[in-house]
Amino acid sequence: MAGSDGVATLLQQGLSNDFVMTARVVAALPLLFFVPGYVVLRSLGAARPLCYATFVSAIGISLSLVIVAGLVLNIFGALDGAGWFIALAPAAVIGYLILSPQRFAFKTIALMPAVAFGAAALLAAAAIEAARAGAIAQRQFAYTELWLLPADGASARTVIVGLFNQEELDVPYALELRSDDHVVARWPDLRLAAGERRSWIVPVPTAERRVEALLYRTDDGVSLYRRAWIDTR
């Protein structure tokens, strides 16, 4: 029950996050690329009726205004969401006041072209999704990452040793942490699933000079696979 609640919460969060993101994108696009230019055109009396040329002008001027506005926001170090909102919100309000009394005479699109455009949009989205899937699936290398770092970033009284399996299959490893000529820690039967990442924090005797991590793959004989080391002094 708790599990299903968790799933429901996650789904809800995911949906709400997606919804918020979509709403922000839908609001931001005209706010940046149309409204400022249209407001300027109207205020200068240069706007023709909302025709093709006016639409193009509004986009071109909006782009130019945003670029110049960026220069102004830079003075205040405010090239962030709040800065842009404050800069563009007046344009949005004025734009609303200008645009709201107008009755746009949107012509109804006939059914056939509407269906065809819808189908085209779906097919285009499918094409991009197919390309995305292909790009994500492409792996030119199968590999394992091994790393060894001082845990506190400097002195290495304790070290972090980590592994990341990108071999695209479950791999059995043996990991050994040696300090000078003796073993500090050993993981003889380590199995990481594909895509699994693990790390350990291991204390090291202070007198030792060098700590070395040795990784073996145990599925094709026991051969040294990766090495990393740090000086502890």
Partner 1 sequence: MSSQIAAEERRARIGLPCRIAHLRATAFGSLARLIGAQRLSVAYEPPFVDPHWLVWPSLLAVNASVALIVAAAAANRSRAGDEGALGLFYASVAILFLPFATRLVLPQISRAERIICLLLVTFALYLLRTIRAPVFFLDHDEYLHWTSAAAINETGRLFAPNVLFPIGPSYPGLEIVTNALSSLSGLSIFAAAFASLAVARLLYVAALFLFYEKVSGSARVAGVACILNMGSSTFVFFDTAFSYESMALPLLVFALVSEIWTADRLRFGQKRELWLLALVVLALAMTHHATAYGLALLLIGALCFTAVGASDGAALQSLGLACVCATAFPWIWSWAMGDPGSAYLGPIIEDGLRELRHLLSFDGVGRRPFASEQGVLTPLWQRATALAAAALICVGLALSFFRSLVWAGFSFESLRAARSWRSVAWSNGWLAFLTFLSFAYPIGMLLRLTRSGWEIGNRIAPFAFIGVGLVLSIGVATLFQRESKSRMRAAVVGAAATLIVIGGIISSAGLSLLVPAKYQVEADAGSIEPMGIGAAEWAKDWLGPRNRFATDRDNRLLLSTFGQQLVSTTLQLHDDAGVAIISRTFGPEEVGMIHRLELDYLLADLRITTGRPVVGAYFDSATADEMLSAPPSPGALLKFNAVPGVNRVFDNGYIVIYDVRAISGRK
Q: Between residue 52 and residue 71, which ones bind partner 1 under the rule CB under 8 A?
A: 52-53, 55-57, 59-61, 63-71
223 contributes a contact to partner 1 by CB under 8 A: no
- Are 41 and 32 spatial neighbours (Cβ–Cβ below 8 Å)? no
Kindly state whether residue 204 participates in binding partner 1, applying the rule CB under 8 A. no
Q: Min. distance of Cβ 135 from partner 1 in angstroms?
A: 5
Consecutive H or E run containing 81: helix 81-99
Between 1 and 68, whose beta carbon lies closer to partner 1?
A: 68
Half-sphere exposure of 90 (CA within 13 A, CB side): 5
Paired residues of 212 in beta bridges: 178, 229
Q: Does residue 153 contact residue 167 with C-beta atoms inside 8 Å?
A: no
The minimum distance between CB 20 and partner 1, in angstroms, equals 8
Q: Is 111 in the site for partner 1 (CB under 8 A)?
A: no
In 124-166, the DSSP E strands lie at 143-150, 158-166
Site string for partner 1, 157-196 (x = CB under 8 A): ---x-x-x-x------------------------------
**β-strand 182-192 against 171-179: which pairing, if any?**
antiparallel
Q: Does 79 bind partner 1 (CB under 8 A)?
A: yes
Binding residue for partner 1, selected from 11, 90, 139, 194, defined by CB under 8 A: 139
Residues in the chain, how many?
233
